[in-house]
Structure 1
Amino acid sequence: MSDPVLILTDQPSSTEEQVIGSGLDDFNLLKAGYRDWRAVAALARDPQTNEPLGGMIGRTSYGLLFIEQVFLPGTLRGQDIGSRLLRMMEDEGGRRGCKSAVLYTITFQAPGFYERHGWTEFGRVACDPPGTARVFMTKPLPSTSEI
């Protein structure tokens, strides 16, 4: 086989994402002996229209809950909604057998929010704009029997 053509893109196709995702899943299955990736989301919806307003999106895999994206509009902040959504995610991670949770935030986003909920920083990487950093955080999760 000749060398593959290497490209860089900001718009991978669904086929390209499928090839990479399936390849990684197959490799992990070979090494771990099982596959357990599952999506999870805790959502805030409009009570009249049922349209999404915000929430948290993540996944569970190999004993970890990954919280990947979090957003609440300003009108929903300061009402305990974020705390309730976070607790829903943590509880579901525990039910799925996760021992820990991981996320990252930015210094101008919400590291203090997560610290108030028992999360601890384990790493920080400077990023733009100048003076800000990505803050990597973790939290041990209760077992299913503790929920």
Structure 2
Amino acid sequence: MTVSLHLTATPDPAEEAAARGALREANAEAGFPHDSRPLCVLLRDGQGQVVGGLVGRTGWSWLYAENLAVPPALRGAGWGQRLLAAAEAEARARFCIGARLDTYTFQARGFYEKQGYRVVGTIPDCPPGQTRFTMIKRLDAGEETR
């Protein structure tokens, strides 16, 4: 088979799907089929417009919280806690055993720790001058959360 490299910042959807598909096939052969499902908890204003929320997915029995945003005017009123709790409840309904997310020194590590998440990994200088924290929380009853 002859192959070549092609670098692009603008792959078409079919090209991106083919590239991702190669890894999905390898994972499936190893016994881990693709089972990712979107999970979104939205914050809407009085006009029904989305003003924040939690965007993530579940797969391989874990919740991956990819983005949690509460507008500045609503911070401190418990909306972040409610968004996270709703996502965790849905993840449990989908038989997830844990939740994973990333946050940064300039974001909300303390907030997540108050919700029972703990740091399991760090990447210094990501972005430069800051630290990226990978955090998890067990959702099953078998392990104490900290």
Write the distance in 1 (CA, Å) between the matches of 2:74 and 2:10. Answer: 32
Write the distance in 2 (CA, Å) between the matches of 1:6 and 1:110. Answer: 39
Q: What runs of 5+ residues in structure 2 fail to find an aligned partner?
A: 142-146
Write out aligned runs for 1:1-147 (5 A). 1-2=1-2, 4-32=3-31, 34-48=33-47, 50-126=48-124, 127-130=126-129, 132-142=130-140
Question: Shift in Å at residue 33 of structure 1?
Answer: 6.3
Write the distance in 2 (CA, Å) between the matches of 1:84 and 1:58. Answer: 15
| Aligned residue type for 1:55 | G
Write the distance in 1 (CA, Å) between the matches of 2:6 and 2:105. Answer: 33
Moved more, 10-19 or 61-70: 10-19
Conservation of the 8 A alpha-carbon contact between 2:32 and 2:60:
no
| Aligned residue type for 1:29 | A
| Paired residues, number | 140
Q: What runs of 5+ residues in structure 1 fail to find an aligned partner?
A: none
Write the distance in 1 (CA, Å) between the matches of 2:24 and 2:89. Answer: 25
Q: TM-score, normalised by structure 2?
A: 0.86
Q: TM-score, normalised by structure 1?
A: 0.86
Write the distance in 2 (CA, Å) between the matches of 1:33 and 1:7. Answer: 29
Percent identity among equivalent residues? 38
Conservation of the 8 A alpha-carbon contact between 2:42 and 2:52:
yes
Moved more, 115-124 or 33-42: 33-42
> What is the RMSD computed on CA atoms of the aligned residues?
1.7
Write the distance in 2 (CA, Å) between the matches of 1:43 and 1:12. Answer: 29
